[in-house]
Chains A and B, each alone.
Chain A
Amino acid sequence: MNIGSIKSKIILIITTVTLLTLAGGFTAITITTYQTNKERLIQDITSEAQLLARYSQGPLAFDVPQELEKVLATTTISYPHSAAVFNANQNLAARNDSGGGIIDVAEGSWSEGTWTEDIEWEEDWILLNLKIEDVDNELLGYIFLKVSTKPFYDQLGNFMLSMILISLLSLFFCFLLAAKLQSYISQPIVELEAISREVSEKKNFAIRARPKSEDEIGSLTRSFNTMLEEIENHQHERDRAENALKSNKKQLEKAVTELKFHANYDSLTSLPNRAVCMDRIQSAIIRADRHDTKAVVMFLDLDHFKDINDSLGHAVGDELLKATSQRLLKIIRQEDTLARLGGDEFVVVLNDIAYSNDVILIAEKIINCFSLTFELNEFKVNTSASLGICFYPDDGKTVDALMKAADTAMYRSKESGRATFYFYEKEMNAIAYRRHEIANELRGAIDANELRLVYQPQVRLTDNKVIGVEALLRWDHPQLGSVSPAEFIPIAENTGLIFPISDWVFRQACSQAKNWREEGYQAFTVAVNLSPLQFRRADLPEWISEILKGNQLTTEWIAIEVTESMLMRNVDQSIQMLEDLKSMGIKISIDDFGTGYSSLNYLRKFPLDALKIDRSFVDDLVKDKDDTAITAAIISMAKKLNLNVVAEGVETEQQRQFLAENHCNSMQGFLISPGISPAEIAELMDKKGNLKSQDKLKKVESI
């Protein structure tokens, strides 16, 4: 049962009241019984003593102790006791022991010498002293009575025990009765409580309690129902209000979301707006500081946008802006930002730029993306953009300063005739201009016959014989002069010119090899450098095969040089391509070995013929201990992999000697010869004793 429940409380109250009543009654009855019985006992004993005293008068007066003893033996006291009679001189006259012990001397108050009449109630005994007197109250003697109280207390104890048993029995029955009867009071309350709990748990205020009685609890039940009814009504009203509030809140949240979007984003293109743009520039500045890189701000303005708007309408203008944002988003990286400031003004923020030249490539891409016609609804629109570029921290330290610098650079683009980009920094403009110029001029270089190949011989270290040549591209421009491949090859790759140029190089090299063969030289390898873009061409083997066939050349004449980084870009694909080429019989070398990050494990997997040790190692040979050790290690390792080793850029006799001592297979460099014309190669071959194939020569001569 629940200790705190109303049921148990009622039972507890009834039981407690009963218990207290019983305890009170018990105590009162016990005390009364004790007192009454005690008084009665004293009275009985006193009467008995008085009787004994009277019967003792004669025997005492006539001095007959035997008679006295008989008198004493006639007491009707049922409790254990003893009696004694003393004469007037306080000497023992007679005594009787009926369970109280033998009396020798006076006890009680008489023991103190004063023989007065009294009765004493001690713990174990009642002591009674009485005088024996004659008719004239003359003292005859004394009688002493000693009665045990044990039976008295035993009786009292038994009485109390039975009282306690009866009380406990009553209490038990009272508890049973209370437990039974409490439900008359508690049941309606318990039911009411259960209903109120159901209401609170289910939040169902439609539940009603059923009044069962006409007393206060019945009245309480009716009041409870009335209260529930009121709450139910309030609840309905509140639910309605809450629903209204919820729908308002949703609308408000939607409005806030929209408002936030409009506050930060351009509604037409969904690009970040000016405010966010400023924030992103600030973030780019922080990132550049942290990574010790540069941040770039590009300011872009469409050319003649106003004219398009005016002539084709705002709708087309808006479409153009959207299309522009789409094209620009494809160019920039995920971590960069494209924002629209308003009108036809866009800003590009580039993060973590390590090389300024990379920016030129991106700028070119942006300018170039406008070269394709925009197809907007039924209209075809051609447009261009002017771009202004600035760097953090070079051109400005703050967001405002950078925006101003980019804006200034953009106006310079406009002034210079639009459809181009300008850097805020003059020097960058010069670099960009040069790139632009090279790209422009490179387009006509092949047709203008400005490209040519030179060949650098490779000499075997053991016998100094020429075993092959490397074809090197040269560009002689009438105005620009001799342009380095290092400068124009990246531009060619960026502009796609690499394909026609590579095609020309390979055909030219093969054509030259054919010439040498026809001149009667025994086969030696003509090594051609492949660009990364070419190496990734799926039809590379077919392309090579076709050119070789066209020049009636066997594959022993041709070697291909690739770089480590080209192979490592996609290892599986590279292995496949190398194996295809290898199966054709084409020799493959790794160029500039030691500058990339190739793994030796992969090196083992690649079907290669030779390693070409980069000139940077060879330059410091003998002088630099580390480079010397690395070179020796590369040679040793290559030998173990059954690869030939070619040293590039050998310029001194010491270098040659070291390489020879370390069993390097061959070398190329200024010590032997720079890149030279085919005629000079032939001359060198002759000088070095490279034998011509007499049969072939004859055959050729006969043709």
Chain B
Amino acid sequence: MRFKCRLIFLISLILLLGAAKPRSAEEMVLQAAFIKNFTRFIEWPKASSLYSDADTFNLCIFDSEPVKDQLSKIFNDRILKKKPVRVMSKSSPEELSGCHLIYIVGTDDRRLQQILNISRKNNILSISFSKGFAEKGVHINFYRNNSRLGYEINKTVFESTGHDISFNLLNYARLVSNDSGTGR
């Protein structure tokens, strides 16, 4: 897109305030707003329970109770993908099968791959806030650049999992690919 670079710069400016303290309350609100917009411009694969029997949009937090509590407050009574949001905390990859979106707070590489495998199988959109996670197979990864909050997207993962992403998200994202290639 012609105005892509400039947009990124602008977005970074907007997100500047929330960059001082990681996982502060303001930053969580900002991330929650991003998450909401991600759901606006991403279509889950047709096989996802999101379009069939699921009664709620299940937002799972991998292994962080405090984040779970913060997001629960933010998404309480909110609607995502036309369904009421249910924020859950999960500590083992096996528990993830009912999730629609997983926010991975912190884990090791082995556990990450387990999570991603299960995510792939269950059409779960994965989001993280850890450097290099996007290259490792997470759909969207938040990052901080000069105190500004940005996000990077691994298009290969999107293509492999069947999640359809709008150009509106790509416009503001830093695109990355799997580990084998360069980050940018």
**Interface of A toward B, CB cutoff 8 Å:** 54, 57-58, 61-62, 64, 66-67, 70, 134-136, 138, 140
Contact = CB atoms under 8 A, between A and B. Distances in A.
A64 B166 contact: no
B101 to A, nearest CB: 14
A76 to B, nearest CB: 14
A138 B40 contact: yes
A54 B166 CA distance: 10
B82 A67 contact: no
A54 B37 CA distance: 15
Q: Which 10 A-B pairs have the closest CB atoms?
A: A58-B168, A134-B40, A57-B168, A61-B37, A135-B43, A58-B171, A61-B40, A135-B166, A135-B41, A136-B81
B41 A66 contact: no
B142 interface: no
A64 B167 CA distance: 16
Given A67-B3, A70-B3, A136-B82, A61 B41 contact: yes
Contact of A135 (B10, B14, B40): B40
A61 B41 CA distance: 10
Nearest to B170: A58
Contacts of A67: 3, 7, 10
B100 to A, nearest CB: 13
B41 A57 contact: yes
Contact of A62 (B3, B37, B82): B37
Interface in B1-23: 3, 7, 10-11, 14
Interface in B91-124: none
Nearest to B50: A136
Contacts of A54: 168
Given A58-B172, A61-B168, A136 B3 contact: no
Which DSSP category, helix, strand, loop or mixed, fits chain B's interface?
helix
Kindly name the residue among A54, A70, A136, A140 whose own CB sees the greatest number of chain B CB atoms within 10 A. Answer: A136
A64 B10 contact: yes
B42 interface: yes
B32 interface: no
Interface string B150-172: 00000000000000101111011
A70 B169 CA distance: 18
Contact of B7 (A64, A134, A135): A64
Kindly name the residue among B7, B10, B39, B168 whose own CB sees the greatest number of chain A CB atoms within 10 A. Answer: B168
A134 B39 CA distance: 9
A453 to B, nearest CB: 176
Contacts of A136: 39-40, 43, 81-82
Nearest to A71: B3
Nearest to A70: B3
Given A62-B37, A136-B40, A136-B82, 17 more contacts: A54-B168, A57-B40, A57-B41, A58-B168, A58-B172, A61-B40, A64-B7, A64-B14, A66-B10, A67-B3, A67-B7, A70-B3, A134-B41, A134-B166, A136-B43, A138-B40, A140-B40
Contacts of B169: 58
B60 to A, nearest CB: 20
Contacts of B81: 136
A113 B43 CA distance: 32
30 contacts: A57-B41, A57-B166, A57-B168, A58-B41, A58-B166, A58-B167, A58-B168, A58-B169, A58-B172, A61-B37, A61-B40, A61-B41, A62-B11, A62-B14, A62-B37, A62-B172, A64-B7, A64-B10, A64-B11, A66-B10, A67-B3, A67-B10, A134-B40, A134-B166, A135-B41, A135-B43, A135-B164, A136-B40, A136-B43, A138-B40
Contacts of B7: 64, 67
A63 B166 CA distance: 17
Interface string B19-57: 000000000000000000101111100000000000000
A79 B3 CA distance: 25
Contacts of B168: 54, 57-58, 61
A61 B14 CA distance: 13
B1 to A, nearest CB: 9
Nearest to A55: B168
A136 B3 CA distance: 25
Contacts of B3: 67, 70
A93 to B, nearest CB: 15
A70 B164 CA distance: 26
B3 to A, nearest CB: 7
Nearest to B2: A74
A67 B6 CA distance: 10
B147 to A, nearest CB: 18
A138 B166 CA distance: 14
A354 B14 CA distance: 159
Contacts of A140: 40
A639 to B, nearest CB: 158
B105 to A, nearest CB: 24
B46 to A, nearest CB: 13
Nearest to B79: A138
Nearest to A137: B82
A61 B42 CA distance: 13
Kindly name the residue among B14, B37, B39, B81 whose own CB sees the greatest number of chain A CB atoms within 10 A. Answer: B37
A301 B171 CA distance: 163
A62 to B, nearest CB: 6
B15 to A, nearest CB: 10
A136 B43 CA distance: 8
A3 B5 CA distance: 82
A57 B42 CA distance: 13
A58 B165 CA distance: 12
Contacts of A135: 40-43, 164, 166
A382 B43 CA distance: 172
Interface in B115-153: none
A66 B10 CA distance: 10
A372 B171 CA distance: 168
A366 to B, nearest CB: 156
A135 B37 CA distance: 11
Contact of A138 (B11, B42, B43, B82): B82
A134 B42 CA distance: 9
A700 to B, nearest CB: 190
